[in-house]
Amino acid sequence: MARTPSIDNHGSAWRLRALCVGEDPELFFPLVETDSETARARAVCRRCPVLHACRDWAVRHGEADGVWGDTTASQRRAIRGTLRSDRPSGSA
């Protein structure tokens, strides 16, 4: 079943300019995360004027599924892991 990205009314005005708005949501939420399954969605992302805002939002909000800002779920997990390891000791 396709899912619609969660709505955050705070700081997400960029979504109105996203190229994925006119696309089938299933394209961005494949059942299996493989290069062949995510390639079309990522191609849309690479042309999108809000690619960076989308990716940053998905990383900050822990989006666990789908293609956001030309990243897959596993790529975002890796980014979050890097961000956590870059924090000084004792940081929350």
Q: What is the mean pLDDT of residues 8-26?
A: 86
Binding-site residues for [4Fe-4S] cluster, in ranges, read: 20, 45, 48, 54
- CA angle 50/65/16 to nearest 5° reads 25
Q: Could you report the per-residue pLDDT of 20-52, keeping only the tens digit for each? A: 999 999 999 999 889 998 999 999 999 999 999
Q: How far apart are CA 82 and CA 65, in angstroms?
A: 19
What is each CA distance from 74 to 26, 35, 56, 63, 64, in whole angstroms? 18, 12, 15, 10, 8
Binding-site residues, in ranges, read: 20, 45, 48, 54
For residues 85 and 60, the answer to whether their CB atoms sit within 8 Å is: no
pTM: 0.78
Q: Is the pLDDT of residue 91 over 80?
A: no
